[in-house]
Amino acid sequence: MNIKKFSTAVSMAEAAGEHIIELVKKKPESLLCFAGGETPLLTLNYLVEAALKGKVDFGKCSFVGLDEWVGLGRETKGSCRQTLFDYFFDRVPELTDSQICFFDGLANDLDAECKRVDEFIAKHGVIDFMLLGIGMNGHLGFNEPGVPTDKYCHVVDLDSVTKKVSVKYFDEEVNVSKGISLGIKHIMEATEVMLMAYGEKKADIVKRTIDTEPTSDVPSTLAKNSKNAVMFIDEAAGSQL
């Protein structure tokens, strides 16, 4: 896996943003997937500002959400849907609902949700680009340690580390025990995957991701088996390398 290290999280986000802009220029009808969580926020902001200045046009792109906490919807601040819509989809000019497919964490039938999202991706053929945050336990989306590698969308029991970390996203107390997520098969089949991490707290998992042979025990290592993966990190996240 190619590793690109940047002096700051801001310069990393700019480079990631420029990379995505180039990709959309080359293939305007790209299917893009952005993680929720904190990691992509600076990059999403860069992309929104570029779109508002007319430097990029997402008008022909499609978007698929990476994951969602089961039981949470947009009205919960900290849900993946709320994050992606508030930071990106609702700020990019002239995006329409038909361009966006996002898990409904409140759906009664989660298997049907998985099927719906799988079909949206299949209709486009392949995900052109995924921007993935690395969880503290190495999860990608909600592909937790021990994840089966042969799955597309699936419902997951959350790892204890994920439940513990989850409090950082929410203002109110929420009880999360399951997630719904794109699967490792989507990550393997995507044309390009960008793993991203910044900050000292990610230094340990970044080192483990790089030093460990691909294994489900550390899902981020599986990205090394994907077609074309790159890892973007800042100095602090790369401080143990």
- Binding footprint of ligand GLP on the chain (CB under 6 A): 35-39, 66-67, 80, 132-133, 135, 141-142, 162
Q: How far is the CB of 80 from ligand GLP (least distance, A)?
A: 6
Residue type, 220: S
Of the residues 68, 104, 137, 234, only one is catalytic, namely 137
Shortest separation between residue 128's beta carbon and ligand GLP, angstroms: 18
* SS3 category, 113: helix
C-alpha distances in Å from residue 72, one per residue of 95, 158, 172, 237: 23, 14, 12, 30
Helices (H), 78-149: 80-84, 110-124
Backbone angles phi, psi at 213, to 5 degrees: -60, 150
* Nearest to ligand GLP of 39, 99 (CB atom): 39
At its nearest, how many Å lie between ligand GLP and the CB of residue 39?
3
Identify the residue whose tokens are 């990709």: 23
- 119 labelled catalytic: no
Task: Tell me if residue 132 falls in helix, strand or coil.
Answer: strand
List 139, 143, 186, 192, catalytic entry: 139
Q: Which of 67, 104, 113, 192 is catalytic?
A: 67
Helix (H) or strand (E) holding 6: strand 2-6
Q: Reply yes or no on whether 137 is catalytic.
A: yes
Within the chain, how many helices (H) and strands (E) appear? Answer: 8, 10
In whole angstroms, how close is the CB of 17 to ligand GLP at the nearest point? 16
Which residue, 50 or 70, is less far from ligand GLP as judged by CB?
Answer: 70
| Cβ closest to ligand GLP, residue 30 vs residue 43 | 43
Active-site annotation holder among 68, 144, 159, 192 = 144
Enzyme catalytic residues: 67, 137, 139, 144
